[in-house]
Chains A and B, each alone.
Chain A
Amino acid sequence: NAGVMQNPRHLVRRRGQEARLRCSPMKGHSHVYWYRQLPEEGLKFMVYLQKENIIDESGMPKERFSAEFPKEGPSILRIQQVVRGDSAAYFCASSRGWDTANTEAFFGQGTRLTVV
């Protein structure tokens, strides 16, 4: 039973390019969460999605960042016109749902984005 799969594991982009990060949730999970972790900092919530719906994007920067979770295929976090400050580890997590107490979230191995 595969866990949460993220790719690529490492991504290098030049300033101004686009970065696309992919996340396939665990089998049976329909909720996806994206977090960003800057060096020496904690995990910051970015966005929470269900299939074809953005539930909470309160942690997303207002510009250049977008996320989707289509009916078919992985969730995508897209960063347009990357800047050096976007360099971070981006983690995706998935869970079964929200209506069960102690529903646990499981994380992928992350994508480490470096902007040069």
Chain B
Amino acid sequence: AQSVAQPEDQVNVAEGNPLTVKCTYSVSGNPYLFWYVQYPNRGLQFLLKYITGDNLVKGSYGFEAEFNKSQTSFHLKTPSALVSDSALYFCAVRDTGAGSYQLTFGKGTKLSVIP
């Protein structure tokens, strides 16, 4: 069965500092990995995805993520955090070895960027 872990419930970072939001996964086949962001009382917005190819994926709003197969990780990063980045971030995985197209989400990491 596929699963995703986001080990930090909350991350606090000062504005302008780099930030990392961690994600690890478990799949039987190859993973397709996704990051989403959610603002209060809103739906999720897609940030970026890893399907194949270059391990460093660039996405919306200046975010990027690095796929590391040996560590089964897909951490989200930005070099300089903005106050407007404060939101709830979800990592998700789809297992190509599974029979369905289900996307499994982590429990989310709340990011607070302090001015």
Instruction: Judge: A and B partners, yes or no.
Output: no
